[in-house]
Amino acid sequence: MNRLPFLLSFFWILISCESKNTPDKIDLEELTIAEIHQAFSEGKYTAEELVQAYLTRIDSLDSAINSISVSNPEALAIAKKLDEEYQKTGKLRPLHGIPLIVKDNINTKGMPTTAGALALADFYPEEDAFIIQKLVEAGAIILAKSNMAEWAFSPMHSESSTVGTTRNPYNLDHVPAGSSGGTGAAVAANFAGIGLGTDTGNSIRGPSSHNALVGFRTTLGLVSREGIVPLYLRNDVVGPMCRTVEDATKVLEAMVGYDPKDPITEYSKGKSEGNYQQYLQKDGLKGARIGVFRTLSEKDPDPEISALFNQSLKDLASLGAVIVDSVEVENFDSLRRNQWCPVFRQDVEAFLSAYVKRDTMKTIEDIIRVSTKSDYARNGLENFRESQLPDNMAQDCGDPFTDLKRIAFREAIEKVMDSLKLDALVYPSWNNKPAKIDRFQEDYKGDNSQIIAPHTGQPAFTVPMGYTSGNLPAGIQFLGRMWSEPILIKLTYAFEQGTQHRKPPLLVK
């Protein structure tokens, strides 16, 4: 009797059983891209098993946090195909098999893109946004879409009509900030490897600060915004929200590139790089000149945040940086005024026309007719319906390369940076602790992210700088010159590696 077929069948049954058990054995806490790829190469687990492990974790733990809008029903099948590709080629793409959380205002084919609103609850885009195409080409797996502040209106909290309110995983009584609070909470809670947010004024950096994450708001024009439900397209940026600077850098590297459907990316030609990982240097702070922008850091700060920030300055110095204290920008208060331009109606109606393509959903009035469960969103929609725009839109509501007010603001900041030979300015990303969920409007203060970078177009990165009482995270922000992502990567990576503030939240099943 030939026992070989029987033995082979028995062998594959054993492997199958082991495979089914593997997801429960994967330690998902703080997994990095490099660690996942090493595990793939060593055969410890597959992308399919990793995806299943993350989905199981979401099912087990997200009910308390409410960070996920919808899981991708194709995630396991996509992972399986990537596993088969790796078995055939022996090569891993840059983000091969890395599960990704996508904010629910970024177009993803085959999945709803709702911006948290009932008006888009059944909108399924025909194509992926440009940046999603690039991330998928790099091997990332869209694991799930994340909850957000409806229409990205709120920097304070993340409440939608589609999912409800997201809580901060470090302390469930507090907000994760907005509007990318779902991504912030999900990535902080180790529900995926990497995440994406969008930032009109705060919405990457605020939630990253509140959730002990690294958040990159890049130079406006470096990354395409095509296929993203806009708030103010003139300010909107999409960027990585990750647990480490290295992972955020790898995500950024996969996203940059000229997109003819987003004309502002024309400015990035000759200024973007194909290899940002070369700037991940542990000694990146040695000799760097860091300016302390106390105009922001000293604006009614919480004493605990001040203590963390001042300790961070000592840490920067101990890591080799030259600290230039009390940097002042001439006419800062006057230059920062009248920078906002309420173009939501124009931008969202253009999005509806280009992507949603429904006769019943063309205008802001149609959105209001469908209604909302959020009083905050309802008030925002009514305000935007009544907003009056300047007569000269090109002059007063332009991009940071043509709008004279935005240029003047940026030039004043870069002038002082040049005169003092500064590599970056630093200040707390938020001067106060995350607000209580039931008092988010009363306690909203200290948000430093809305003041400079969205208007000037400059890049600004936040990294963890410690925790206040209540186990609440805080972040320090590094502001650079236009197109200075390489410098900011060096500075933030060196600070992160030298301080190691990031720790996961304590979640209970």
Q: What torsion, rounded to 10 degrees, do the Cα atoms 407, 408, 413, 419 define?
A: 110
DSSP string, 364-402: HHHHHHH--S-HHHHHHHHHHHH----S-HHHHS--TTT
Q: How far is CA 423 from the centre of its chain?
A: 23
Distance CA 205, CA 197 (A): 9
Q: What are phi and psi of 267, to 5 degrees?
A: -70, -20
Residue with tokens 């078995």: 87
DSSP SS3 for 475: strand
Distance CA 453, CA 480 (A): 9
DSSP SS3 for 227: coil
Distance CA 70, CA 67 (A): 10
Can you read off the two tokens belonging to residue 321?
């940086």
Burial (Cβ within 10 Å: 0-12, 13-18, ≥19) of residue 390: exposed
Catalytic residues: 103, 179, 203
Q: How far is CA 144 from the centre of its chain?
A: 14
Q: Name the helix (H) or strand (E) containing 499.
A: helix 485-499
Q: How far apart are the first and last CA of the chain?
A: 52
Distance CA 503, CA 107 (A): 31
Nearest C-alpha neighbor of 397 from the set 342, 352, 348, 350? 342
- In the DSSP assignment, the letter for residue 355 is I
Q: How far is CA 486 from the centre of its chain?
A: 18
Can you read off the two tokens belonging to residue 124?
């399924």
Can you read off the two tokens belonging to residue 52?
């299943």
Judge contact between 171 and 437, C-beta under 8 A: no
- In the DSSP assignment, the letter for residue 354 is I
Distance CA 71, CA 73 (A): 6
- In the DSSP assignment, the letter for residue 262 is S
Q: How far is CA 265 from the centre of its chain?
A: 19
Determine how β-strand 322-324 pairs with β-strand 424-428.
unpaired
| C-beta atoms surrounding 289 within 10 Å | 14
| C-beta atoms surrounding 73 within 10 Å | 9
